[in-house]
């Protein structure tokens, strides 16, 4: 494939054999030669999500499908689809999804990801590294390592993975820039690169744009150029975030940027940072959703301690109970180890699905409000082992998470009813153990059941059940 000095090479369906499952589109092999006026034309078209669901001929599945693309809710606290339906951000990291696997392997990953309840997959478009490493088929992302001459053979594979994700009702949080790519994606090339990418995938509904700079001022100009290119390319159809690397930092150091739709953070092994980081960003104005986008990976080997399923649960419940959203990860997946298939069913991954079901079982889960005054005694917001509480904004329910064996007391009037139905839930299994129905007044004492590693206590207004 060569870049023609006289202009861009454009191919239609009849000119080449298309292996992508997407419908008609134009293929662009030389970005550098494209006149600016052409950027206003649609380069890439995709059938609507509703049409694909209809083609599946499964009405029950259609009822559960997310109407992509997702957007930020009216109250700026969570995510919703195009119909206004709340979307629970439970993410997983598969950084090498586009580069490190065959299409058959990618399908296995995405189907397993869906089966465990994940809704978002965080993936690096050019994979881990400097952006110049070829995929498993020997194709590099860019011709001559130049972002302005994208390699169609590489991006046809990306097309296919995006389509498979859509078929599995998954959104891809796509990292189009990492600070390790900076030798290729320079300040001058950032905007046209992002614009080309956003135009190509303008009508791909299941994308969230993400970037990974250092949390340093010298990266601000390139972030702004990338954001401008994305907006020019897709007209703002997809939401945008960025997660600084290395950790521990949050994107909120640029919180007031208009193009930043929600904040993302990385805490690495420092679980004690989740509460202060998420709480700080949660309180910022203007209000934006907060994503704890990367913590310690299950079975990770670089932290100096074992990252057990219990550790994984703690990270996640901390994130949600203080008003944020969460992404999980497994060591063997991002490193693409020989055991990557087994890692897809790791206990922590399975238990993230349990967590999601617990939250979705609560009436209007999206109206969660962090409230540590639920505790009359025994709350804990500092250190690694936290005791946290949240409630429905109107008091329909209260949730209390205990990261270890503990005794504590609850202000029962946080439930807006005469009585509260109370149950324990084991985060390992999702099994529920009724405690009883109690008057929603005064203070009541509780202790984590014997033999449990951690625990959830749920109190629900008896009149709403």
pLDDT, tens only, 320-369: 999 999 999 999 999 999 999 999 999 999 999 999 999 999 999 999 99
Q: Please tell me the class of the 66-360 domain.
A: alpha beta
DSSP state of 237: -
Range of weakest confidence among 24-38, 195-209, 270-284, 384-398:
24-38
Q: What is the mean pLDDT of the chain?
A: 89
Q: Which pLDDT band holds residue 214 (cuts at 50, 70, 90)?
A: very high
The answer, yes or no, to whether residue 20 has pLDDT greater than 50, is no
| Secondary structure class of 407 (helix, strand, coil) | strand
Question: Which sign does the torsion angle of CA 329, 333, 339, 345 carry?
Answer: positive
Q: Which pLDDT band holds residue 63 (cuts at 50, 70, 90)?
A: very low
As a whole-number percent, the residues of the chain with pLDDT over 70 amount to 86
Dihedral in degrees, nearest 10, Cα atoms 431, 433, 437, 441? -80
pLDDT at res. 64: 72
- Which residues contact residue 95 at a Cβ distance below 8 angstroms, ignoring those fewer than 6 apart? 122, 123, 124, 127, 128, 175, 333, 334
The answer, yes or no, to whether residue 30 has pLDDT greater than 60, is no
pTM flag (> 0.95): no
Q: What are the DSSP E strand ranges found in 144-201?
A: 171-178
Q: Which pLDDT band holds residue 465 (cuts at 50, 70, 90)?
A: very low
Q: How far apart are CA 160 and CA 104, in angstroms?
A: 10
Q: How far is CA 445 from CA 75, 96, 231, 435, 439, in A?
A: 34, 48, 53, 12, 13
| Secondary structure class of 278 (helix, strand, coil) | helix
What phi and psi, each to the nearest 5 degrees, are found at residue 22? -70, 160
Domain map of the chain by residue range? 66-360, 368-464
Q: Which pLDDT band holds residue 1 (cuts at 50, 70, 90)?
A: very low
Q: How far apart are CA 194 and CA 211, in angstroms?
A: 11
328-343 burial: b if 16+ Cβ within 10 Å, else e: bbbbbbbbbeeebeeb
DSSP state of 44: B
The answer, yes or no, to whether residue 31 has pLDDT greater than 60, is no
Q: How far is CA 101 from CA 46, 182, 210, in A?
A: 24, 24, 21
Q: How far is CA 137 from CA 79, 150, 160, 175, in A?
A: 36, 16, 14, 21
Q: How far is CA 278 from CA 201, 251, 289, 380, in A?
A: 31, 11, 10, 15
pLDDT at res. 313: 98
Would 66-360 and 368-464 be classified into the same CATH topology? no
- pLDDT tens string 123-154: 999 999 999 999 999 999 999 999 999 999 99
Q: Which pLDDT band holds residue 246 (cuts at 50, 70, 90)?
A: very high
| Secondary structure class of 341 (helix, strand, coil) | helix
- pLDDT tens string 274-331: 999 999 999 999 999 999 999 999 999 999 999 999 999 999 999 999 999 999 999 9
Q: Does domain 368-464 sit in CATH 2.30.130?
A: no
As a whole-number percent, the residues of the chain with pLDDT over 90 amount to 85
The answer, yes or no, to whether residue 436 has pLDDT greater than 80, is yes
The answer, yes or no, to whether residue 422 has pLDDT greater than 80, is yes
The answer, yes or no, to whether residue 13 has pLDDT greater than 70, is no
Between 42 and 346, the more confident residue is 346
């Amino acid at each position: 494939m060569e870049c023609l000095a006289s202009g861009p090479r454009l191919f239609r369906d009849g000119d080449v054999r298309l292996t992508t499952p997407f419908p008609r589109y134009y293929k662009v092999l030389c970005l550098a030669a494209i006149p600016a006026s052409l950027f206003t034309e649609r380069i890439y078209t995709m059938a609507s999500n509703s049409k694909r669901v209809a083609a599946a001929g499964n009405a029950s599945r259609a009822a559960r499908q997310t109407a992509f693309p997702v957007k930020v809710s009216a109250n700026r606290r969570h995510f919703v689809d195009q119909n206004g339906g709340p979307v629970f951000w439970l993410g997983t990291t598969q950084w090498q999804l586009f580069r490190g696997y065959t299409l058959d392997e990618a399908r296995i990953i995405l189907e397993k990801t869906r089966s465990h309840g994940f809704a978002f997959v965080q993936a690096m478009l050019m994979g881990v590294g400097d952006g110049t490493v070829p995929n498993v088929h020997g194709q590099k992302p860019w011709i001559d390592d130049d972002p302005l001459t994208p390699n169609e053979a590489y991006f046809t594979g990306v097309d296919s993975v995006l389509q498979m994700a859509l078929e599995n009702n998954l959104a891809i949080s796509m990292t189009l820039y990492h600070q390790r790519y900076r030798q290729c994606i320079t300040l001058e090339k950032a905007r046209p690169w992002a614009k080309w990418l956003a135009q190509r995938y303008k009508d791909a509904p299941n994308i969230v744009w993400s970037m990974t700079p250092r949390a340093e001022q010298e990266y601000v100009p390139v972030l702004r150029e990338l954001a401008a290119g994305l907006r020019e390319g897709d007209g703002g159809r997809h939401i945008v975030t960025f997660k600084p690397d290395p950790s521990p930092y949050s994107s909120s150091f640029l919180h007031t940027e208009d193009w930043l739709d929600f904040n993302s953070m990385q805490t690495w092994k420092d679980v004690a940072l989740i509460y202060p980081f998420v709480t700080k960003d949660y309180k910022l104005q203007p209000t934006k959703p907060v994503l704890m986008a990367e913590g310690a990976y299950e079975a990770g080997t670089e932290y100096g301690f074992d990252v057990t399923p219990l550790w994984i649960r703690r990270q996640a419940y901390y994130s949600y109970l203080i008003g944020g959203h969460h992404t999980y990860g497994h060591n063997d997946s991002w490193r693409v180890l020989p055991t990557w298939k087994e890692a897809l069913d790791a206990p922590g991954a399975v238990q993230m699905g349990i967590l999601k079901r617990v939250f979705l079982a609560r009436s209007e889960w999206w109206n969660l409000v962090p409230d540590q005054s639920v505790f009359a005694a025994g709350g804990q917001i500092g250190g690694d082992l936290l005791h946290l509480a949240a409630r429905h904004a109107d008091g329909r329910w209260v949730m209390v998470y205990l990261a270890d064996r503990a005794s504590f007391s609850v202000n029962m009037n946080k439930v807006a009813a005469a009585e509260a139905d109370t149950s324990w839930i084991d985060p390992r299994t999702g099994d529920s153990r009724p405690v009883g129905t109690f008057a929603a007044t005064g203070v009541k004492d509780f202790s984590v059941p014997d033999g449990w590693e951690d625990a959830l206590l749920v109190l629900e207004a008896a009149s709403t059940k």
